[in-house]
Structure 1
Amino acid sequence: MAGLTDNDPLIAGVELGGTKCIATLARGRTILHQSRWPTQGPETLDHIAAALDRWHAQTPFAAIGIGSFGPLCLDRANGHFGHMENTPKPGWAGVDVHGHFARRFAVPVGIDTDVTGAALAEGVWGASTGCAVHAYATIGTGVGLGIVMDGKAVHGRLHPEAGHMRIRRTPGDGFSGACPAHGDCLEGLVGGPALAARAGRALADVPDDDSIWQRVAAELGEWVAMLILCLSPQRLVIGGGVLDHRPALLGRVRGAVADNLGGYLAGLDLAALQSLVVPPALGRDAGPLGAIVIGQSALRQARP
C-alpha cells in the first residue's frame, strides 16, 4: 500500500469507548484492518482479543496499544496498573484491561486513556503536529481531556479527569445533571446521555436553533477558556460524537471562549481562536490511531 515502508512496524490498536469498541491493525497511520463492537460488559474484551488472535495468526503484529475509557490506573508501580477504576459503566469497575491482552499475547502492550491516545495521534499525524503543548478534548458519551507536552502524555497521580470539573450554570437552567458522582459537572451537563436527558428527546431531533445549544456552547466555552488559562496550549482539538453531529457548535464555543477570556490574553481574540481551538484533522480515526501510537510507544520502550 502507498505510504508503507519496512520501517513501519505492524501494530494492533484497541480503542475502548463509551458506546463502541474498535480494533485496528495498522502500519503507521495506514489502517489495514478494522473491526467494531458495541461496548457491553467486560466480555467485549474477549471478542476483541479473538479478532486480534486471527490477525496475529495471519500477519503477526509487533505490539498492542490500548486507548480506553476510564478512569484507569496508569501507575506502573501500583499493583492495580492497567485496571479500570471506579467507572460508572456497569460491570467494568476493577477489570484488568491491560492484563487481559498482556497475558494472551507475547508482545509489548501499552495502555492509556482513549482521549490521550487521540491527543497523541493528532500530535504525530494531525492538527497538533509541531506543537510542544497541546490537548484533545472529547465531547461524547462522556467528556475527557488528554494533554501532551513535548510528545509525552501528561500523567500524575492519575490521568486528567477535566470532564468532571464544575462550571457556572447558565441562568434559569434547572437541570440537576446526569453524572452519578457529581451531578452537574461538565460531563453531567454536556455528555451525550446528559444532553438527551436535558432535551427530553433524541439529540437528532433537537434543531440547531434550540436554546439547549446556547447553554452547551456557554458551558463548553467557559471550560475551554479555563483550559487555555491553565495549560496555555498551542492547539486544543475538540472531537467526539456530539460535535461530529453538531459541527456548527464549535463556532459558538469559540465565541463563548472569547467572551470568557475578555481580551485578557494579548493576541488571543476570536480570529486567533480559529486556529487554536480546532476540530480533529484525523476525524473519527483520531481514537483508533491513538491506540496505534500507544502501541508504537510500548514497542519502543520494550526495545533494548
Structure 2
Amino acid sequence: MHKLAGIELGGTKTVVVLGAPGRIDERLEFPTTDPAETLGRAVEAIEGWRDDKPVDAVGIASFGPIRVSREAADYGTMLDTPKLGWAGAEVRAKVAEALACPVALDTDVNGAAMAEHRFGAGQGCETMVYLTIGTGLGGGVLVGGVPAHGMLHPEIGHVRLRRAAADRFEGACAFHGDCIEGLLSGPALAARLGTHPSRVDPDNPLWEPVAHDLAELLAMLVLTVSPQRIVIGGGVAGRQPHLLPMAVARMPGLLGGYLRDCTRERLAGMVVPPLLGDDAGPMGALLLAAKAFEGHVVAA
C-alpha cells in the first residue's frame, strides 16, 4: 500500500496528515508562523512517520496566491500575499528537497474542493465551487471535476461587488479595501461589527449588509461559473450558521428573475455547508499526493 502525506498550509494553522484518499491515519496541527519554521515542522512530522519506509508522495494544499502551473519555473512559489514573510517562499521546492519524493501542490481551497467533490457535498457535480470564509476568503473552482487553472488560479476573495446602498464600511483588505475578503473575512467582520462576530446576536440588524454582500458573491458565482453546488466552509461560516440562509434568501431578488431555475428552494439545495468539515483541506492534500505518485509512476 502506498504511503502518502498531505500538508494543508493555511494562513493561521497548518495541518499535516498521513493516510490515503478518503482516510486520515495520523494528524498534527500547529500555528503557521514563518516559512522556515512552518515547513520545517511539517517535514519533521512526515519524517517521524517513516518507520519502515519513507512516504511515496506528498500533496500540499496551500494558501496563496501561489504559483500552481507545473510548467512554470517557480511552480510552488508563494507570490505577493497578505501573509507577512511568505512572499517568495519556495513552498513546494523546500518540501521536495527535504523529503526526496514526488510533491504536488495546489491551493488550499482547490484541495478542499477536490475532497468535497470526491467524498463530500460535491459528489456527482461536474462544476462546483468551494468557498472558505475565515481569516481570509478564498474560492476553489472545479470544472469537469478538475481544478480551474489559468494565468494563476481563481482569486474569488478579491473581486469587488455591488455594495448595499447604506453601507459605508471601507473594507479591511490591505490590497483592495472593500473587495469581498475585505468585507466578509473574520478580521473584516470584527472591524465592521465593532466586536468579535460571536458577540453579535443573529437577529442584530448589523448582519443585514453582511448577508447582502455574501448574497452578491453567491449570485455572481451562479452567473459566471454556473455551478451545480457551492460549498461554504471556514470558521466564519461554521460559527455563524444564520448567514447562509440569510444570503440565500436574498439571491432570487439579486438575480431579478433572470434565471427561472434559481428559486429559493433550488438555491438552498445548491449552497450548502461541507460534509467533510475541517477534514476537507487535509483530504484534498492527500488526493494531491496520490496524483503526484501516479504521475511519478507514469513518468518513470
Residue 128 (structure 2) pairs with residue 134 (structure 1): yes
Q: Residues 170-190 of structure 1: CA distance to partner in whole angstroms, max 9, x if unpaired?
A: 122222111111000000011
Residue of 282, 286, 292 corresponding to 1:288: 282
Residue 26 of structure 1 is aligned with which of 19, 24, 31? 19
- Residue 59 of structure 1: CA displacement? 5.3
1:95 aligned to 2:89?
Answer: yes
Tell me how far apart the structure 1 counterparts of residues 86 and 232 of structure 2 sit (CA, whole Å): 26
8 Å Cα contact 2:198-2:240 kept in structure 1: no
- Counterpart of 1:84 in structure 2 is 78
Q: Unaligned regions of 5+ residues in structure 2, if any?
A: none
User: Which among 190, 193, 198 is matched to residue 204 of structure 1?
Assistant: 198
Q: Deviations over 1:243-287 (max 9, x none)?
A: 110112111111122221122112220001121111111111111
Counterpart mapping for 1:260-299 below 5 A: 260-299=254-293
Q: 4+ residue stretches of structure 1 with deviation over 4 A?
A: none
For structure 1, list consecutive stretches of 5 or more residues without a partner in the other structure: 1-5
**Does the Cα contact within 8 Å between 2:122 and 2:128 map onto a contact in 1?**
yes
CA deviations on 1:110-167 (whole Å, 9 max, x unpaired) are: 1000000000001110111111111101111111111111221110000000110001
Hey, what does 1:174 align to over in structure 2? 168
Residue identity in the other structure for 1:260: L
> Of 102, 105, 111, which residue of structure 1 is paired with 2:105?
111
Q: Quick one: which of 202, 216, 222 aligns to 1:228?
A: 222
Q: CA RMSD in A?
A: 1.3
Answer yes or no: is 1:239 the counterpart of 2:237.
no
**Residue 7 (structure 2) pairs with residue 14 (structure 1):** yes
Q: How far apart, CA to CA, are the structure 2 residues paired with 1:84 and 1:58?
A: 33
What secondary structure sits across from 2:98 in the alignment?
coil
Check whether the contact 2:43–2:99 (CA below 8 A) recurs between aligned residues.
no
**2:65 is the counterpart of 1:71:** yes
Q: What SS class does the counterpart of residue 49 from structure 2 fall into?
A: helix
- Aligned residue for 2:119? 125
Question: Which among 237, 249, 259 is matched to residue 253 of structure 2?
Answer: 259
Q: Give the alignment's TM-score, normalised by structure 2.
A: 0.95
2:20 and 2:287 in contact (8 A); partners too: no
The residue identity in structure 2 corresponding to 1:28 is: P
- Gap change, CA 1:58 and 1:203, over 3 Å in 2: farther
Shift of 1:58: 5.1
Q: Secondary structure at the match of 1:211?
A: coil
Q: 1:47 Cα deviation (Å)?
A: 1.1
**Please, what TM-score do these two structures have when normalized by structure 1?**
0.94
AA of the residue aligned to 2:17: T
Asked whether the equivalents of residues 135 and 187 of structure 2 are also in contact (C-alpha less than 8 Å), the reply is yes
Q: Could you say what secondary structure the match of 1:275 adopts? A: helix
